[in-house]
Amino acid sequence: MKIKFIDFNILGDERGSLIAIEELKDIPFEIKRVYYIFGTKQNVRRGFHAHKDLQQIAICVSGSCKFLLDSGKKRVDNIVLDTPNKGLFIDKMIWREMYDFSEDCVLLVLASEYYDESDYIRDYDKFLSVVDG
C-alpha cells in the first residue's frame, strides 16, 4: 500500500491565501459528497471502517490529526495531516482510523460517491476476510 498525498496550489496575495480544488483535475474522481469533522473530543478515535467502492481525499483545513491506514496486508500509522494545502488520498478497501485531533481541527473529506451504508465495512475481521478473498 502506497500512501498518496496530493499537493494543492496556494493562491493569494498580501490579503491572504486561497486554495481552489477541481474535480477530475486536482482530485482524481468526481466529487459527489463533501463533509467535515470538527469538535472531536480529546483522546477520541474516529473512522473504524473501510469502503468497498468509495474513494476519498482528506484535507485538514485547520489544526491537525493523524491517520492509520490498513490495506489488510500492510498497515501505516502516524500519517500526519496538518496543512490545508495537502490532501490524503484514501482508496477503496482501505481501513481507516483518525486520531490525535487538535482542538482546532477541521477535517474536510471529498468523496467519490454519495452516502451508501451498504458500501461500508465496519467490522475489522470482516474487512480482513473480504481482502483475503
Instruction: Just list the catalytic residues.
Output: 49
Which residue, among 89, 78, 81, 76, has the nearest Cα to 65 in the 3D structure?
81
The Cα–Cα gap between 36 and 60 comes to: 9
Could you tell me if 86 and 121 are in contact, meaning their C-beta atoms sit under 8 angstroms apart? no
Cβ neighbours of 126 (radius 10 Å): 11
DSSP states along 94-114 = -EEEEE---TT-EEEEEESS-
- What angle (nearest 5°) sits at the alpha carbon of residue 89, between those of residues 84 and 95? 120
